[in-house]
Structure 1
Amino acid sequence: MNSTTKRPSAIARLRALLGQAPHDYRPATQVFLDLDVQSNAREMALTDRGSERGTENRPQSSAETLDDVEHQVVERIESHKQDAHGLYLEHLHTYDQRVAALNFEERFTVIQQAAPEAVGDFAAEASLGRDELFALRRRLHESEAEREGFRVKHGITRPARLVSLGSGLLKAGVLAVLFIIETAINGSFLAKASEQGYLGGIVQAIVFAAFNILVSFLWGLVPLRLINRRSTIVKFAGILSFAIYLLFAFALNLTLAHLREVPPTLGIEPGQEVLKHVLTAPFDLTDVMSWLLFGVGFMFSLIAMVDGLTFFDPHVGYAGLERRWNDASLNFTNTKAELIERLRSIRDDASEAMNDAARDLTVRRSELDALLQARSRLAQRFVEHQAQIERACNALLQTYREANRRARSTDAPSYFDRPYKLDRIVPAPVEPDADHKEDLRRSIVQAQETLRAQTQAINDAFDSEVRSYKEIDQFFPEAASGKAST
């Protein structure tokens, strides 16, 4: 539903028609009940009253009109006829209500308005999706141009080396293992030179191991990767960083080796003593285990540096460009798939609603034919029922007259031999004229043709919009031959 106009969509209006019942009625099994002659004769005591009045020779032989008893019979029959006529009109009104409930004109109007609007709504939805997709494709193009510009600038022909979750955890695990091993080795070696023994050696080992591992890792992560740049100045800065790193790693681990050889003597500051030895006699190590400590620390520093150097792509910034390009590409692809699926859902929903509306017209046309036939049968049954009650009336009169004849001593009136003629009620015509039926048939066919045409229009619009989604790529051609797209 549109939030501004609060008007239901075209498909919703079509579906609302399908939710309406074609009629509201309770079917009956029988309409007109036949008169029971014997029951009425017994109730009115026609035989006894006929004999009684015949004994009195009533009515007179010269009588030409019905007597009181016969009038009572006729009045009962006329009353039943009027009741039957009222029942006929009541059922006829029910049929008329059911015919009116089919409401073809409203359906024709809604179909003529809603079906074309459904195609328009579909096109509007597709247009919104196309705008969204165009913006995403433009962002993808910009990311791709930025990445390709970086590759051209630095002479790169390979994709960036991205760090996955598994490889990142592995590299972080390597650093953790190096830290633990170096802490354990340094702690055992430095315990000799610590006044606090092994505990003091562990504390010093943790400080040196953390500084050695983390600084080496960070050095490889940022400054040393500058060596891969094509710019001479930047490349020189990377080479200089590598030289500084070697000097740092060498000096740090050499200091650690000298710290091991400083005896824990009272009154001597170990830090100052180590600094004096490093500055005056840096290679004057008297114990081979000190050289071993130096070698292990320097090797772990190199491993941490290489771990940092390979943690991301060797070219600084290339992995970020690649990741942004991948995210933009994935976002564009997924959004395009979602938009196409959304259009497919709208198309299927609209096609289903229109097909249901077309079938609904056929069902209602059959319902109308059945109602018209039922109305015709109702009128025929009313005519037949009047004939039945006329026969019943004559049977009741005959019962009375025969009993009267047998009891009379004079001749019966001559009108006893004439049957009673019931004044029939002629039912009004219930069948619509041929022109009206033909107009209705043409309207139904036209509405169904409209629905079929709009269903095909939605299918064609779907194919066209899907092609337009795919053609968006033509506005942003991908890079070729290592050059950024223009």
Structure 2
Amino acid sequence: MARESALTRLVKGIRREPRDVRADLAVFPPVDAQALAADMKLDRLAHQRGAAGEPPADAVGPDEVEIRIAERVEDERRRGHGILLEQLRVADERLANLDFEGRFAEIRQAAPAALSEFRAEAATGRDELNSLRRKLREHEDAKAAFKREHRLTRPPHPPTTGAQTLKYGLVAVLLVVETLVNGSFLAKGSELGLLGGTTEALAFSMLNVVGSFLFGRLGHPQLIHRGVFHKLVGLVSLTAWLAAAVALNLALAHYREVAGETLAEGGGAVIQRLATDPAGLNDLKSWLFFAIGFLFSAVAYIDGYATVDPYPGFGDIQRRLDATHEAYIGRKQDLIDRLLEVRDDYVQSLEDANRDLSIRRAEYDQILATRARLVRLFDQHQGHLQQVYARLLALYREPNRRARATPAPAGFAEVPVLARLAVEDEVPDISAEAAAIRARVSEAQALLVEEVAAIHREFDAAVAGYHQIDDVVGEGRDGAAA
């Protein structure tokens, strides 16, 4: 939320495109002298007054009709002046709406705040990584202590995930194959035929294959252990497996022969034969049956032993260390990705703020140009009104001359010059203010560029800091944290 508050102050008032503030030529529409003359009925008045000898030949100054003409032109000029003042007011409002001072203040406050918030984001990630690295170091220390305690100099060799999958798959294949092989032998002595033989074979196979696998996985590694008690446990486990594998497969071979002779008392007969003459198999196929079963048992035993590190407990320590290391590396990458996302957000916001200043400055210059253009257009409009005034006088004086019986006044040969409004005094000179604003815009943009560069540097430093956690907490020669 804090990050959004800093950036919101920068992007809230961004102008995506400059507004069109150009002054149109139609701001001061031209005055049609002919239409104005018709409206004032100058032709009729000229004939009437000329026929009456008005104004008299010795008249000095404008007559009443010429005064009305001057007043009408003056009305048009006042109307144009009002339009000019309204347009200038709109331009001043647009200048005020640019709010450069507000934007400068937001940039001075929010841009450094954005950098501080980015540093806080990086520091939070660094603290989290330090915590994860301490956990990883504890597992590294546990591994190093285990190696020292058991005088191990080699690295652990736990099977990979792919190798584990193959080994467990081999157990499943052995289980299925032995079930099918045993089922074909035992089907002859089963009331249910192949289905019954397969069911009995599955029970024997579970004991033979799965049991041997567990003996190999749990018991045999104890033989490698440096402790005498563990070695004794491993030796007992190996002896127990050999006895169980031989007994189970002999029992299965005897059961095949007994089931072929008498179905009802097959189990008791097998126990009696094992007690009196365990090696007394009468059929070569029974010995083959025994050999296949024992072979499957031995393969399952070896396969079970191969699913773990040869030294008991060493593989478990390594797996926990690997899991912690993967969690640490994965989280570090997540934090770097997060920093990258935050950096891009900050940089984009700062660049948008920079572009916004350019747009505002362009609009500011455009408004100033519009103000100057409005003044020029009004000055041109005043010149146009002087021409209209001269034309209206001509449209009055020429018919008056033609209708007169006496000479026209000498003033008819002259066209008075109407006084112009000096609007420059109404438009204050803000060139110095404009130069100051342009300078401050350049200064603010330089600050934004520097903040962008600073965020890039902070990102590089943060990523380097994340990686330095591994350098600071390295590993010694025996795997312990240095």
What is the aligned counterpart of 1:319 among 315, 319, 329? Answer: 315
Using the alignment, how far apart are the partners of 1:233 and 1:144 within structure 2?
27
What is the aligned counterpart of 2:281 among 279, 282, 285? Answer: 285
Deviation at residue 327 of structure 1 after TM alignment: 2.4
> In structure 1, what is the equivalent of residue 476 of structure 2?
479
1:133 aligns with 2:129: yes
SS class of match (1:337):
helix
**One-letter amino acid of the structure 1 residue matched with residue 156 of structure 2:** P
Using the alignment, how far apart are the partners of 1:51 and 1:425 within structure 2?
34
Deviation at residue 231 of structure 1 after TM alignment: 1.2
Using the alignment, how far apart are the partners of 1:268 and 1:57 within structure 2?
160
Checking the alignment, whether the CA contact within 8 Å between 2:17 and 2:359 is kept in structure 1 is: no
**One-letter amino acid of the structure 2 residue matched with residue 55 of structure 1:** A
- TM-aligned CA distance change 1:235 to 1:267, over 3 Å: closer
- TM-aligned CA distance change 1:72 to 1:280, over 3 Å: same
> In structure 2, what is the equivalent of residue 58 of structure 1?
54
Deviation string 1:365-399 (CA, Å, 9 cap, x unpaired) is 23322322221221122123112212311221132
> In structure 2, what is the equivalent of residue 385 of structure 1?
381
Checking the alignment, whether the CA contact within 8 Å between 2:59 and 2:409 is kept in structure 1 is: yes
Using the alignment, how far apart are the partners of 1:232 and 1:433 within structure 2?
98
Deviation at residue 163 of structure 1 after TM alignment: 3.6
Using the alignment, how far apart are the partners of 2:271 and 2:54 within structure 1?
159
Using the alignment, how far apart are the partners of 1:416 and 1:187 within structure 2?
139
What is the aligned counterpart of 2:157 among 157, 160, 172? Answer: 160
Using the alignment, how far apart are the partners of 2:390 and 2:215 within structure 1?
125
**One-letter amino acid of the structure 2 residue matched with residue 447 of structure 1:** A
Checking the alignment, whether the CA contact within 8 Å between 1:190 and 1:204 is kept in structure 2 is: yes
**One-letter amino acid of the structure 1 residue matched with residue 309 of structure 2:** D
Deviation string 1:275-304 (CA, Å, 9 cap, x unpaired) is 122112222223332222222211111111
1:205 aligns with 2:201: yes
> In structure 2, what is the equivalent of residue 180 of structure 1?
176
> In structure 2, what is the equivalent of residue 250 of structure 1?
246
CA-based RMSD of the aligned residues comes to 2.7
Deviation string 1:53-90 (CA, Å, 9 cap, x unpaired) is 11111223454454443233223212211211121112
> In structure 2, what is the equivalent of residue 468 of structure 1?
465
What is the aligned counterpart of 1:49 among 40, 45, 49? Answer: 45
**One-letter amino acid of the structure 2 residue matched with residue 220 of structure 1:** G
Deviation at residue 150 of structure 1 after TM alignment: 2.7
- TM-aligned CA distance change 1:384 to 1:190, over 3 Å: closer
Deviation at residue 420 of structure 1 after TM alignment: 3.0
> In structure 1, what is the equivalent of residue 438 of structure 2?
441
Deviation at residue 408 of structure 1 after TM alignment: 1.5
Trace 1:332-481 onto structure 2 (pairs within 5 A).
332-427=328-423, 428-480=425-477
**One-letter amino acid of the structure 2 residue matched with residue 149 of structure 1:** A
Deviation string 1:393-423 (CA, Å, 9 cap, x unpaired) is 1221132122212222223334434433424
1:110 aligns with 2:112: no
Q: How many residues align?
A: 480
Deviates more, 1:463-472 or 1:358-367: 358-367
SS class of match (1:161):
coil
Deviation at residue 158 of structure 1 after TM alignment: 2.7
**One-letter amino acid of the structure 2 residue matched with residue 317 of structure 1:** G
Deviation string 1:133-154 (CA, Å, 9 cap, x unpaired) is 1122112212222223333333
SS class of match (1:30):
helix
1:306 aligns with 2:306: no
Checking the alignment, whether the CA contact within 8 Å between 2:19 and 2:363 is kept in structure 1 is: no
What is the aligned counterpart of 1:216 among 212, 217, 224? Answer: 212
Checking the alignment, whether the CA contact within 8 Å between 1:59 and 1:413 is kept in structure 2 is: yes
> In structure 2, what is the equivalent of residue 101 of structure 1?
97
Using the alignment, how far apart are the partners of 1:116 and 1:267 within structure 2?
92
Deviates more, 1:265-274 or 1:206-215: 265-274
> In structure 1, what is the equivalent of residue 7 of structure 2?
11
Using the alignment, how far apart are the partners of 2:353 and 2:199 within structure 1?
83
Using the alignment, how far apart are the partners of 1:19 and 1:434 within structure 2?
24
> In structure 1, what is the equivalent of residue 86 of structure 2?
90
Using the alignment, how far apart are the partners of 2:355 and 2:196 within structure 1?
91
Deviation at residue 483 of structure 1 after TM alignment: 4.7
Using the alignment, how far apart are the partners of 2:333 and 2:196 within structure 1?
63
**Uncovered stretches (5+) of structure 1, i.e. residues with no partner:** none
Using the alignment, how far apart are the partners of 1:130 and 1:207 within structure 2?
57
Checking the alignment, whether the CA contact within 8 Å between 2:15 and 2:359 is kept in structure 1 is: no
> In structure 2, what is the equivalent of residue 270 of structure 1?
266
TM-score, structure 1 normalization: 0.89
**One-letter amino acid of the structure 2 residue matched with residue 158 of structure 1:** P
**Uncovered stretches (5+) of structure 2, i.e. residues with no partner:** none
Checking the alignment, whether the CA contact within 8 Å between 1:226 and 1:237 is kept in structure 2 is: yes
**One-letter amino acid of the structure 1 residue matched with residue 7 of structure 2:** I
Deviation at residue 130 of structure 1 after TM alignment: 0.7
- TM-aligned CA distance change 1:156 to 1:227, over 3 Å: farther
Deviation at residue 453 of structure 1 after TM alignment: 2.8
Checking the alignment, whether the CA contact within 8 Å between 2:219 and 2:237 is kept in structure 1 is: yes
Aligned sequence identity (%)? 39
- TM-aligned CA distance change 1:195 to 1:161, over 3 Å: same
Deviates more, 1:277-286 or 1:19-28: 19-28
Checking the alignment, whether the CA contact within 8 Å between 1:47 and 1:403 is kept in structure 2 is: yes
